[in-house]
Structure 1
Amino acid sequence: MIAASKKFNRKASKQNLELQIENRTGTLMLVPATLLLLLFVVVPVCLSFILAFTNARLVSSTSPQFVGLTNFAAMFADSAFWAALKNVTIFTVVVVPVQAGLGLLLAVLINKKVRSSVFFRTIYFLPVITSMVVVSLLWLFIYQNDGMLNIVLQKLTFGMFKGVDWLNNPKTALGAIIFMSIWQAVGNHMLIWLSGLQTIPNDLYEAANLDGCSTWQQFKHVTWPCLRSTRNMILVTITIAATSVFTQVNVMTSGGPLNSTTTVVYQAIQAGFKQQEIGYASAITLVYFVLILIITMVLRYLTRDKD
């Protein structure tokens, strides 16, 4: 009995020692990621909250002074800020449903197990893995007066269509960027939809077939309900990405013409790095943070489980 008790105690001590070593190893492995998170996320967010109430500049010989709500008053009085907010709203309202719907349509079409499905998945996903800067430069040439888009439209209309300077016209610039953005990112959401479609058991479709359901009825009563978690995730990710649009605006239009394509993120970066008004830029980012928080909370409420 004594020998067995000692053996059990030694075994328990060994297991405790191994557990302590595993815990320490796990903690050490978390340290680099935690430090990077603190350095590049937590610290900048805290500084943004502080600098938003100062007159800090990127390069200045004087120390920042507390100015209260001056930056926010200037921002709300700036017509460019309201134009940026309007453009972001239009961009989001158009991109979210169109991009999500088109991605779902493509996913349904290539979900069939045919030989060409892999080819089409690759083709649709190619713009996603291409740098947004490269894509923006490509479409910058396409949208020119003598670009491919005008040439194709003139050929299709037998010369009746006159060339349009898509990116230098306030009426068409934002729409051109919206179209390009949908084309570039739809492949990513197509794959997310596709992953959700492939998790639906085939038994459900077989049962629907036995009940005499049409293709649309199968989609309505089987596919769509089973994609609940997938569509909630896509809704949130597309919305956040749409409200933070920057690269294509910076490369293609620089916010013009006449602020018709400027966005909140673009305006914040311009104010902070080009105009060197870090305090004002921080105020814009703080307002943007609040807007994103409100949008996320609304989406979370709308997509909550109602059981």
Structure 2
Amino acid sequence: MSNMAGKRSVWRTDWRLYTLLLPGLIFVAIFTFYPIGKMLAMSFFDWRIGYRQTSEFVGLENYSQVLADPIALRALVNTLMYAVVTVPLQMALGLIVALLINGITKFSVTFRLAYYFPVITSWVVVALLFRYIFSNQGLLNYFLADVLHVVGEPVGWLSSRVPALVVAMFLGIWKGIGWNMVIFLAALQAVPKEYYEASSIDGLNGRQQFFRITLPSIRGTLLFALVMLCIGAFNTYTPIAVLTGGNPAHQTEMVLTWMYFQTFNVTGKMGYSAALSIIITLIITSITVILFRTLARKGE
């Protein structure tokens, strides 16, 4: 009898929990799972949204167009380059700043606000500021050409592929340091001080403590930051859209800017954009799984 009563009590508790979870599950289903399913369906059609227009089923043709499109491939390469450069530098600089702030007792809140301020500023505002600084008639060229006389003519920082991508990377790194600083600082403050005291007795110096105590203790936070930054790198849109708009000749396109161009500009190829979205989703999922499995094994 007591066993039956226990099962009924658990069922009542579970029923109440399920009831509380239901609104959130409905919200996620409507605004997350349904759009993903709809996008997957759109990728197999020549999708049309005009009045009385029909969407013709084309099978895998949209995927074939994406894989054969040189601009889509260039956009993917640009995005990978952006991720490879910005993600490690954001994490490294954020960790350094977190270590420095964690080691001081005065003005720590002031430094936190100073480093976190770029995070809360608008992407559009800071991208416009960077465009003003790095434009042909911008502030940087003024100092280089007119003040320091280092160059004879203004440098076209945003007029070619590599310099424009470097400017976008610099913007992404500058804006992401504060986010990493906050995440790593919270993890550092959660490491028990007894570990460091015991290691000092054993004769470990600061560098040895960092590699033997600090890094292993915050490994989970490092993995979280790495995965989130990789996902964020593949969602880069505003810096390129404001700085270059994907130009010149689509040389600086990212996957999202090219997707937007295909969807809302003159082409209106929504099926193509949906197929590109699915491909990017699969790439991000694969990278995430590889990161989790690799770092989890090292953690074990």
TM-score > 0.5, shorter chain as reference: yes
Is 1:186 the equivalent of 2:177?
Answer: yes
Pair 1:213-2:204 in alignment: yes
Q: Does 1:165 align with 2:156?
A: yes
**Conserved in 2, the CA contact under 8 Å of 1:53 and 1:279?**
yes
- Structure 1 pair 218–152 and aligned structure 2 pair: CA distance change class (3 A): farther
Match of 1:234 in 2: 225
More displaced, 176-185 or 243-252? 243-252
Q: Equivalent residue for 2:91?
A: 100
Distance 1:97 1:153 in 2: 30
Task: Output the amino acid matched with 1:114.
Answer: T
**1:52-201 matches, cutoff 5 A:** 52-59=43-50, 61-153=52-144, 158-161=148-151, 163-201=154-192
Compute the TM-score of the two structures, normalised by the length of structure 1.
Answer: 0.87
How big is each residue's C-alpha offset from its partner over 1:133-162, in whole Å with a ceiling of 9 and x where there is no partner? Answer: 22212212121233233344558x832145
Higher mean Cα deviation, 25-34 or 93-102?
25-34
Gaps of 5+ in 2: none
Equivalent in the alignment of 2:256: 265
Work out whether residues 58 and 272 of structure 1, in 8 Å CA contact, stay in contact via their aligned partners in 2: no
Structure 2 letter corresponding to 1:194: L
Write out per-residue CA displacement over residues 66-94 of structure 1, whole angstroms, 9 at most, x where no aligned residue: 11111111112211111101101111111
Determine the C-alpha separation between the residues in 2 that align with 1:150 and 1:58: 46
> Could you list the per-position Cα deviations for residues 164-189 of structure 1 after superposition, in whole angstroms to 9, with x for gaps in the alignment?
23212223001100000110111001
Deviations 1:269-299 (A, max 9, x none): 2212223221111111011111111111111
Tell me which residue corresponds to 1:42. Answer: 33
Partner SS, residue 197 of structure 1: helix
Shift of 1:25: 5.7
Q: Is the 8 A contact 1:59 1:276 kept in 2?
A: no
CA deviation digits over 1:4-62, x for unaligned, max 9? xxxxxxxx9xxx89x95x76665454343222212211111111111111111232532
> Does residue 254 of structure 1 match 2:240?
no
Mapped to 2, the partners of 1:151 and 1:187 lie a distance apart of 29
Letter in 1 for 2:124: V
What amino acid maps onto 2:271 in structure 1?
G
Structure with bigger gyration radius: 1
> What is the CA distance between 1:194 and its match in structure 2?
0.6
Paired AA for residue 182 in structure 2: L
Structure 2: distance between partners of 1:111 and 1:78:
48
